[in-house]
Amino acid sequence: MAEPLKEMFNKAAVDWLAGRLGSAWPDFPAAKFKRAILADLPALELIARVDRIALEMQATLPADFRKAVRIVTKALGAPPPAGDGTDFGSFRVLPCHRFVAQAGLDHTDHALAYFKDTTRHFSGEFDIRPFLVRDQARVLGVMRDWADDKDWRVRRLASEGARPRLPWGLRLQALVADPAPLLPILEALRDDPIEAVRRSVANSLNDIAKDHPDLAVEILGAWRSDSSRAPLIRHALRHLVKQGHGGALHLMGVDQAAKFQLRDLALGKTRIAIGGSLPIDLALRNAGKRAAMAIIDYAVHHLGARGELRPKVFKWKQVELAPGETIALSRKHSLKPVTTRRYYPGAHKLDIRVNGRILGEADFILTAK
């Protein structure tokens, strides 16, 4: 069994941080710091551990934030090489970012300088967000300058840190309501040479699409003039495609008048224990007179704690079918527990969606054992 994520912040991580802070500031009370945290750590989950370490940093570092943030920056040392855009750094740095978010809100300039330097150790997208809530125009102005930085990790922070609906992050309600101030950053980064940065731009636009679908389609339609942006556009449209949004489907090259028939839908099991997998088989036919694109998704309607069914849409396949052509597809959907979803025994449902339209559904029972 894999080690729980919370164990990223264990005794070894606390020892490492205490050693780094002690090397940067000889007066740092390392023993007291470790003793206080380790007494509480076993009972805490992942985020609570991060917050607990950050709180103890506030208790042991100088009360003068400007001095404290210099110590933390020095403790982290020189950042690792930028690499190819696939390494986002060490999770062990996260409590340092959380400390700055909690203790530095009244010192925006010093905090932003810290994030620019240290996002190269570990991405600071979660903890820069309270500063955006406090002073959006000022912080977005600085982040627009970051979009021109030579280090891709700083450029990515400019986009990812300002995502309106960053998963697990503080929601930026002002940008949810009006994403216009974010658009100059996305425009600057849409053709970035690093895929991780371009993907962040796509994620930001996917966030925008949830609240302003027509605006997202308008922006991406204008960007389509450059064919190299096709992967970004496809990733940015994933929510709208799942919803069957006409404008999004048009950008994806889908003929909404195309006729598809679900010739068969079969579940390999109708009773599955939590932790098992659900075999799915289908046959899809193009019943029209022209070749047509089919974006095939499926939704699992999970049973909630109050007995309600909540659909979660999953991507399956994108394929072009000739007139009269039938394609057979098979896959297994995992029902293993994950940190972002809790399973409840009872009646569940699965449906098949082609170009955003539900063509068929089937029921199954999820059991405790």
The phi and psi torsions of 88 (rounded to 5 degrees) equal: -100, 10
What is the C-alpha to C-alpha distance for residues 31 and 60, in angstroms, rounded to an integer? 11
* Model confidence at 66: pLDDT above 80: yes
Strand partners of residue 261: 285
Q: Which CATH class is domain 5-251?
A: mainly alpha
pLDDT tens by residue, 188-206:
999 999 999 999 999 999 9
77 φψ region: left (φ > 0), alpha (ψ -120 to 50), beta (else) = left
* Model confidence at 34: pLDDT above 90: yes
Token pair for 85: 């855009």
> SS3 of 218, please?
helix
pLDDT at 234: 94
pLDDT cut 90: percent of the chain above it: 91
Q: What DSSP string describes 75-141?
A: HH-SPPP-TTS---B-GGGHHHHHHHHHH-TT-HHHHHHHHHHHTTTB--TTTSHHHHHH-HHHHHH
Angle at 1 between CA 303 and CA 14, to 5 degrees: 105
Per-residue pLDDT averaged across 174-183, rounded?
Answer: 98
Q: Which residues contact 312 (CB under 8 A, 6 or more apart)?
A: 299, 300, 301, 302, 341
> What rounded mean pLDDT belongs to the chain?
95
What is the C-alpha to C-alpha distance for residues 295 and 354, in angstroms, rounded to an integer? 5
* Model confidence at 85: pLDDT above 90: no
Strand order in the sheet with 326-334: 260-267, 277-286, 326-334
What is the C-alpha to C-alpha distance for residues 41 and 37, in angstroms, rounded to an integer? 6
> SS3 of 349, please?
strand
* Model confidence at 37: pLDDT above 90: yes
Strand partners of residue 330: 281
> SS3 of 53, please?
helix
pLDDT cut 70: percent of the chain above it: 99
pLDDT at 55: 97
pLDDT tens by residue, 99-146:
999 999 999 999 999 999 999 999 999 999 999 999 999 999 999 999
Per-residue pLDDT averaged across 52-73, rounded?
Answer: 97
Residue 218: band (very low, low, confident or very high) from pLDDT cuts 50, 70, 90? very high
What is the C-alpha to C-alpha distance for residues 365 and 38, in angstroms, rounded to an integer? 43
CB 69 within 8 A of CB 111: yes
Token pair for 223: 């960007």
What is the C-alpha to C-alpha distance for residues 158 and 148, in angstroms, rounded to an integer? 9
What is the C-alpha to C-alpha distance for residues 39 and 330, in angstroms, rounded to an integer? 50
pLDDT at 2: 61
pLDDT at 1: 52
Token pair for 61: 């570092």
* Model confidence at 339: pLDDT above 80: no
Predicted structure pTM score:
0.86
Q: Are strands 357-367 and 271-273 parallel, antiparallel or unpaired?
A: parallel
Residue count of the chain, please give it.
369
Amino acid, res. 165: R
pLDDT at 54: 98
What is the C-alpha to C-alpha distance for residues 298 and 135, in angstroms, rounded to an integer? 41
Strand order in the sheet with 292-303: 271-273, 357-367, 346-354, 292-303, 309-321
Per-residue pLDDT averaged across 292-315, rounded?
Answer: 94
Rounded to the nearest 10 degrees, what angle do helices 136-146 and 108-118 cross at?
30
CATH 2.60.40.10 is right for the domain spanning 260-367:
yes
Q: What does the domain layout of the chain look like in residue ranges?
A: 5-251, 260-367
* Model confidence at 216: pLDDT above 70: yes
Give counts: helices (H), strands (E), the chain: 16, 8
Place of tokens 């570990």: 122
* Model confidence at 255: pLDDT above 70: yes
What is the C-alpha to C-alpha distance for residues 139 and 218, in angstroms, rounded to an integer? 26
